[in-house]
Amino acid sequence: MADYTVLIKGDPDRWWTSMSLQQRKDGYAQYARFNEALAAGGHRILGGGELTRLSEARSIPAGGGPVTEGPFAETAEQVGGYYQIATDDLDGLLECCQIIAATGDGIEVRPNVDPTDRPS
């Protein structure tokens, strides 16, 4: 079984600043549907989380240096949350991810490095 990270990309502030309470509830219902589809497909959620607003981010530049408020990169799309998933069925996982993509967020699925592939 391989482990994957599902990155949920978009404007995380959108959920809080431009959506009504009902729109947010409807969006979160789709995430619940995603969780159910994962379980039904035999995929195992290992962890994950929703990230807070970009204004709460703190950044340290590559190489070290002063801590600054806000995101390091100025981009329109940021990671707003992630899942850690164990599965033997990447195609099935990608199909489940279509549920989240339909909410307007982008999805990136990347395999995690297997610890046995690291030099000791």
What span, in angstroms and rounded, lies between the C-alpha atoms of 2 and 87? 6
Is 81 inside a domain boundary?
yes
Q: What pTM, to 2 d.p., does this model score?
A: 0.84
* 38, part of any domain: yes
Q: Can you give the CATH number for the domain in which 78 is found?
A: 3.30.70.1060
Question: Within a domain: residue 65?
Answer: no
**How much is the mean pLDDT over the chain?**
88
Q: How many domains does the chain have?
A: 1
In a domain, 87, yes or no: yes
Per-residue model confidence as pLDDT tens digits over 74-102: 666 688 899 999 999 999 999 999 999 99
pLDDT one-digit tens code per residue, 16-31: 677 888 988 998 999 9
